[in-house]
C-alpha cells in the first residue's frame, strides 16, 4: 500500500443536543480511480449512527450506487466499519464528493458549546488492478449548539423556501410558531424561547 493525496473525510458540522443530522463521508480522488473502499468511522461518546435492532441505516450516493455493494457494521461503541466494493470492478463516479450518507444522533448528554472530535481511520482505497492506496487518518469537529436560526439560513442560502413537517409550503415566514420546519432543505426547530424571523 502506498501513501496518496487522495482523501476520505467528513466536513465539520453543528448539531443540537438530542438531535439528528444527515452526514456525508466524502472522497477526493483527483489522481486515481477506485472501485472499492474500507474505512472506520470513529464517533465520540454521546454520538452514534441511526439504526435499530442491530441494523445501521445508511445510503449509497451518486458516486457509489451503480454496480457497488456497501455494508456497515458497528465494531464497538463509537466505531463503525464501512466497506464498499464492486464485483465488476466498476469505478466510483467522479473525482470528488460523497461516498456514504447516514444520519447521526446525539443522546442529549452533550451541552451547548461543546466541540467533539470524530475521525476516519484505517482507510483503504482499491484500484481496479487490485492495488491498494492508504490515505492518512482525517478528523472532523462536531459542535453542539442550538439549531440554526432562519436568519442564518437566509444569509447563507438566499431565497427562503419553508415547509412545515407535513410538507405544506409556508409563505408567511415572519412569525413562525414553535415547531419543526424544513428551510431550504434543512430541518430546523423553532422554540418559544428563541423565536426566529427571516
Q: Where are the domains of the chain?
A: 7-144, 150-190
Structural fold of domain 7-144:
Immunoglobulin-like (2.60.40)
Task: Look at residue 35 and tell me whether its pLDDT is greater than 90.
Answer: yes
- Mean predicted confidence (pLDDT) in 1-17: 83
Q: Say if CB 147 and CB 193 are below 8 A apart.
A: no
CA of residue 183 relative to chain centroid, distance: 18
- Spatial strand order of the sheet with 20-28 comes to 7-9, 20-28, 98-106, 47-49
Q: What's the pLDDT at 37?
A: 95
pLDDT per position as a tens digit, 172-184: 666 677 777 777 7
Closest residue by Cα to residue 148 from 10, 21, 11, 9: 21
- The residue with cell 456497515 is 72
Amino acid at each position: 500500500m502506498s501513501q496518496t493525496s487522495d482523501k476520505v473525510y467528513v466536513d465539520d458540522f453543528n448539531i443540537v443536543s438530542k438531535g439528528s443530522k444527515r452526514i456525508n463521508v466524502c472522497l477526493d480522488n483527483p489522481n486515481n480511480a477506485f472501485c472499492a473502499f474500507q474505512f472506520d468511522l470513529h464517533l465520540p461518546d454521546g454520538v452514534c449512527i441511526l439504526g435499530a435492532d442491530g441494523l445501521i441505516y445508511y445510503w449509497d450516493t451518486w458516486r457509489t450506487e451503480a454496480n457497488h455493494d456497501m455494508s456497515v457494521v458497528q465494531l464497538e461503541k463509537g466505531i463503525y466499519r464501512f466497506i464498499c466494493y464492486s464485483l465488476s470492478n466498476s469505478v466510483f463516479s467522479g473525482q470528488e464528493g460523497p461516498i456514504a450518507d447516514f444520519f447521526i444522533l446525539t443522546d442529549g448528554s452533550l451541552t451547548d458549546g461543546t466541540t467533539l472530535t470524530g475521525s476516519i481511520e484505517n482507510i483503504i482505497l482499491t484500484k481496479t488492478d487490485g492495488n491498494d492506496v492508504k490515505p492518512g487518518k482525517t478528523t472532523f469537529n462536531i459542535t453542539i449548539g442550538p439549531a440554526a436560526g432562519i436568519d442564518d439560513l437566509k444569509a447563507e442560502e438566499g431565497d427562503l423556501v419553508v415547509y412545515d413537517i407535513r410538507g405544506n409550503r409556508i409563505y408567511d415566514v415572519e412569525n413562525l410558531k414553535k415547531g419543526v420546519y424544513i428551510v431550504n432543505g434543512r430541518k430546523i426547530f423553532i422554540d418559544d424561547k428563541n423565536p426566529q424571523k427571516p
